[in-house]
Amino acid sequence: MQRVLAADTQISSVSEPWLLLPTVYALKKKGGSAEYSHVIANIALHDFIRELPNGKDDYLSAIGGAATELYRKAAKDKNARYFLDKTPRYALIADDVIKMFPDGKFIVLWRNPLSIIASMVEFWSSGKWDLARFDVDLYNGLANLIDSYRNNPEKYLAIQNEHFLKQPEKELKRISEYLGIEIDTDILNNFSEVKFDGKMGDTYGVKNYNAVDEAPLEKWKQTINNPLRKRWCRNYLQWLGKERLAVMGYDLDELLSEIDATEMTTRNLFADLKCMAFPQPKYD
């Protein structure tokens, strides 16, 4: 979706900035480390923020203003109306990002959790069930994003990945109306020309998809296909629960049924036993 939108001259973008994470995490007691001591810096920053007329709100507003100026300078098309910052781990700071940009537009792209898991395994872990490295995304990040969406429904435009791949013209129209611009659907035919120079982002999609394609929707079934993987995914879906999945547009019972219906193999079973020998983290 990022490449599709960036194909429109009214929207500029870069690979993945991660620009806002350090500035927001400076406010958190935990979650950061630094040679100068994150803990002490956090204490000092909060001392300073207490001197501001509106406290944390003034801090976030100032950071948002500075980021806006940087976005403006990074935009390849200086006449673009929007700069698109696609950084998945902003899920961890979603509410603060909203406060930084009171006039901003926020598109949340929901995706089948089973597809997310399979993508992490295949793309980032070379087929290994090494999901512990993605705990922050699968647990804290997703739960926080869902909470932010529930708390600020008027701020977000929710797009379901499956709908976008099946009916891209219809979803582009929704995005156009939300952004208040006319997006030409011709970009669906030329978005493959969009290239980002950064090291971050979905390089797999860039190499393998030159058109909006429904094929990825079923690919998770090739990855989640042995007893251990199926059990892990059932437990994860149960942790997410009916309510959170419903916010994303998915039904818990349907997803569980789909897992049960996938082909059962012993592929990767012994390798998974080693990876899954470690206790899974607990989150509220």
* Residue pLDDT tens, the chain, 284 long: 999 999 999 999 999 999 999 999 999 999 999 999 999 999 999 999 999 999 999 999 999 999 999 999 999 888 999 999 999 999 999 999 999 999 999 999 999 999 999 999 999 999 999 999 999 999 999 999 999 999 999 999 999 999 999 999 999 999 999 999 999 999 999 998 898 988 787 665 555 667 788 888 999 999 999 999 999 999 999 999 999 999 999 999 999 999 999 999 988 888 888 887 655 555 55
Give the pLDDT confidence score for residue 275 in this predicted structure: 80
Give the pLDDT confidence score for residue 107 in this predicted structure: 98
Look up the CATH number of the domain holding residue 142: 3.40.50.300
pTM above 0.85, yes or no: yes
* Residue 38 in domain: no
Give the pLDDT confidence score for residue 178 in this predicted structure: 98
DSSP 191: G
Fill in the amino acid letter for 90: Y
User: CA 223, CA 58: separation in Å to the nearest integer?
Assistant: 47
* Residue 209 in domain: yes
Beta strands 156-160 and 106-110 are parallel
The domain containing residue 14 runs over which residues?
A: 2-20+52-275
- Both tokens of residue 104? 């901003």
* Residue 43 in domain: no
* Residue 281 in domain: no
Total domains in the chain come to: 1
* Residue 125 in domain: yes
* Residue 268 in domain: yes
**DSSP string of 202-251, one letter each residue:** -HHHHHH-SS--SGGGGTHHHHS-SHHHHHHHHHHHHHHHHHHHHHHT--
Do 137 and 143 form a contact (C-beta atoms < 8 A)?
no
* Residue 27 in domain: no
Give the pLDDT confidence score for residue 122 in this predicted structure: 94
Give the pLDDT confidence score for residue 200 in this predicted structure: 80
* Helix/strand/coil percentages in the chain, nearest 5: 60, 5, 35
Give the pLDDT confidence score for residue 202 in this predicted structure: 67
* Residue 39 in domain: no
